[in-house]
Structure 1
Amino acid sequence: MTEADNKAVVHALIESWNRDDLAGITRLWAPEMVHHGRDGTLPAAEVAAEMGRFMRAFTGVHMEVHSMVAEGDLVNTRMTVHFSHTGDYLGVPATGRRLRCGLMGQLRIVDGLVVEHWGIADGLHLLEQLGVLPESFLSATA
């Protein structure tokens, strides 16, 4: 597959997120897809379960893409994700607030399917918007 084909897969993932379509997202994953995060490596089933919890708590997702760069089988993204807090999340009842979160990711795509994902989200800013962290805590980070 070409780099343009790989970028098209990522665009399809983003469109599925924007439609609140978890099944559409997971159709673009290889069965052996894994996510690499700060707590280690998670298999596809655990990633899908966490995404489902997120989608129940936050609706109206819109991923605003700032940049997307492809090289070989890797695609890198830098985005802002916008969503509304409409359900319980981490014990915080729905606030109805419209929130945003910076997100950077890298996906490895083989034969049109995601086989690996690495992602970094601005979780501190999200927690501040939910009222869990004081705004002053954000001054310690960029």
Structure 2
Amino acid sequence: MKTLKITILAMFMAATNLVCAQGLQSKTAVNKSTMEKNKEVVVRFNKAYWESGNVEIVKEFLADNYVNHFAPPNGPNDASLMVQFITGFRKGFSDVTIEFHEVLGEGDKVSLIKTITATHTGDFMGKAATGKKVVINIVEIDTLKDGKITDTWALSNFPQVIQAL
């Protein structure tokens, strides 16, 4: 009888472990799937935004409550800034390409290390066209919710690039 109780207890514990492991595996698969989708959203947004200058992409990929945490002080820090910036940037630069060196996902965040290259062929921020090739290096972290980017933090050499024009 004692052996039967121990056997039943052992089987119960094994079944519980199996159910827990399957639940964890399922949850991990869902989280991985969401992370992969988030990474895809950020990459698609960046390619369309930088390379095409597509301002409509902002509506599709940025949440209504989007916050740009690297916006200049005393100005807008919402999606309107993103539209304003890329519109001006595309008037001043051509041959824009983006290269992703790293795209990492963790939880609801996607981190990027990327390089934007372009040619200064028009007026930008009061600087007449120089014909110079520029290289902008950016480290960025985006937060996503329900498939949309809600927040962006970034560091770049953009001020130094513009100063050198």
Q: Normalised by the size of structure 1, how large is the TM-score?
A: 0.82
Structure 2 residue matching 1:47: 3-state secondary structure:
helix
Structure 2 residue matching 1:54: 3-state secondary structure:
helix
Counting matched residue pairs gives: 130
Structure 2 residue matching 1:56: 3-state secondary structure:
helix
Deviations 1:84-137 (A, max 9, x none): 11111121101122211111111111111111111111024413541xxxxxxx
Deviations 1:37-90 (A, max 9, x none): 163570111232122111211122111111111101100000111011111112
Residue equivalent to 2:39: 7
> Aligned to 2:137, which of 102, 109, 120?
102
Deviation, 1:24, is: 2.2
Residue equivalent to 1:56: 91
Change beyond 3 A, Cα 1:39–1:20: closer
- Hey, what's the Cα distance between the residues in 2 that align with 1:100 and 1:81? 6
| Paired-residue identity, % | 25
> Aligned to 2:110, which of 75, 79, 88?
75
Change beyond 3 A, Cα 1:24–1:38: closer
Structure 1 residue matching 2:69: 3-state secondary structure:
strand
Residue equivalent to 1:84: 119
Q: Normalised by the size of structure 2, how large is the TM-score?
A: 0.71
- Hey, what's the Cα distance between the residues in 1 that align with 2:36 and 2:103? 11
Aligned 8 A contact 1:101 1:125 in 2 = no
Residue equivalent to 1:44: 79
Structure 2 unpaired stretches of 5+: 1-32
- Hey, what's the Cα distance between the residues in 2 that align with 1:88 and 1:39? 20
Residue equivalent to 1:29: 62
Deviations 1:19-38 (A, max 9, x none): 23222244211111110016
Structure 2 residue matching 1:42: 3-state secondary structure:
coil
Structure number, greater radius of gyration: 2
Structure 2 residue matching 1:27: 3-state secondary structure:
helix
- Hey, what's the Cα distance between the residues in 2 that align with 1:37 and 1:62? 22
Structure 1 unpaired stretches of 5+: 131-142
